[in-house]
Amino acid sequence: MNFYAVKAIYMFEMARTRRTLFQSIVSPVISTSLYFVVFGAAIGSRITSVEGVSYGSFIVPGLIMLSLMTQSISNASFGIYFPKFTGTIYELLSAPVSYFEILLGYVGAAASKSLLLGLIILATAGFFVPLQIEHPIWMLFFLLMTAITFSLFGFIIGVWADNFEKLQIIPLLIITPLVFLGGSFYSINMLPPIWQTISLFNPVVYLISGFRWSFYGIADVSVGISLTMITLFLAICLGIVWWIFKTGYQIKQ
């Protein structure tokens, strides 16, 4: 293992976050805070509680997941796309660095930035609503697994994309709607039976449900199923990344 190479890639990506602090950290925190103000005040005044939890507190896990997923994808996709765009990816590929080390550096940095953002949003939420975390270890586990999985997913998007527009297509048109329809602001048990069934085909439901369980001990689906789904998605992303490096798809071409 070439730890110097991994560290160099990791530190370079983390330094980019420090150079764009407002865009990387401050802006997502402000946007999420506005969700607390708007949804907590407007809807929270009409919905006093959901399954015994105040509405403002209920939406916290969903909002954290929304930011975690979108930022993980954005950080990882841009991180690998920019070297492709500038042509420096070929210098990296010609260096004595394995594919695994490249992946570890880029995905590790993207996941670290997303975890940091998630924890900051969690701390910020405490200023707006009362919070409780019944299972802190599981909460951190879901945070870590989600950050790594969606950073891998973002890495795949960054390799696939051949222009800046494609970097935004999947996060904007697929991921964000799935998160909003995945129980971020409501329990799927509040929906009519037919829509509850349809919601179960949304993979984000399982991630948000498991993460919310770590806070309040309530879940729309079994925690075991949530863990299975995130593990399955992680395995699929790893398989796709392995195929990309084996074939050189959009990297060596």
Q: What is the DSSP string of 179-232?
A: HHTTTSSS-GGGS-HHHHHHHTT-HHHHHHHHHHHHHHS--SS-HHHHHHHHHH
Q: How confident is the model at residue 40 (pLDDT cuts 50, 70, 90)?
A: low
Q: Which of 39-43, 75-79, 184-188 has the lowest mean pLDDT?
A: 39-43
DSSP string of the chain, one letter each residue = --HHHHHHHHHHHHHHHHHTHIIIIIHHHHHHHHHHHHIIIIITTT--EETTEEHHHHTHHHHHHHHHHHHHHHHHHHHHHHHHHHTTHHHHHHSS--HHHHHHHHHHHHHHHHHHHHHHHHHHHTTTS----S-HHHHHHHHHHHHHHHHHHHHHHHHH-SSHHHHHHHIIIIIHHHHHTTTSSS-GGGS-HHHHHHHTT-HHHHHHHHHHHHHHS--SS-HHHHHHHHHHHHHHHHHHHHHHHHHTTTTT-
Question: Residues 123-155, buried b or exposed e (16+ Cβ, 10 A)?
Answer: ebbeebbebeeeeeebbebbbebbbbbbbbbbb
Instruction: From residue 204, give the alpha-carbon distance in Å to each of 74, 221, 229.
Output: 17, 12, 9
**pLDDT > 70 fraction of the chain, expressed in percent and rounded:** 94
Max distance between CA atoms of the chain, in angstroms, equals 60
Across the range 132-145, mean pLDDT stands at 91
Instruction: Report whether pLDDT(236) > 70.
Output: yes
Across the range 88-108, mean pLDDT stands at 81
Alpha-carbon distance of 156 to 92, in angstroms, equals 17
Q: Which of 19-28, 113-122, 156-165 has the lowest mean pLDDT?
A: 19-28
Instruction: Report whether pLDDT(19) > 80.
Output: no
pTM over 0.85: yes
Among 21-35, 124-138, 160-174, the range of highest mean pLDDT: 124-138
118 neighbors 67 (Cβ within 8 angstroms): yes
> Where in the chain are the domains?
3-247
Query: Residue 212, class by beta-carbon neighbours within 10 Å (0-12 exposed, 13-18 middle, 19+ buried)?
Result: buried
Across the range 79-84, mean pLDDT stands at 83
> What pLDDT, on a 0 to 100 scale, did the predictor assign at position 41?
64
Strand-pairing partners, residue 54, are 49
Instruction: Report whether pLDDT(45) > 70.
Output: no
* Structure tokens belonging to residue 113: 């930035």
Across the range 64-92, mean pLDDT stands at 84
* Structure tokens belonging to residue 4: 């110097």
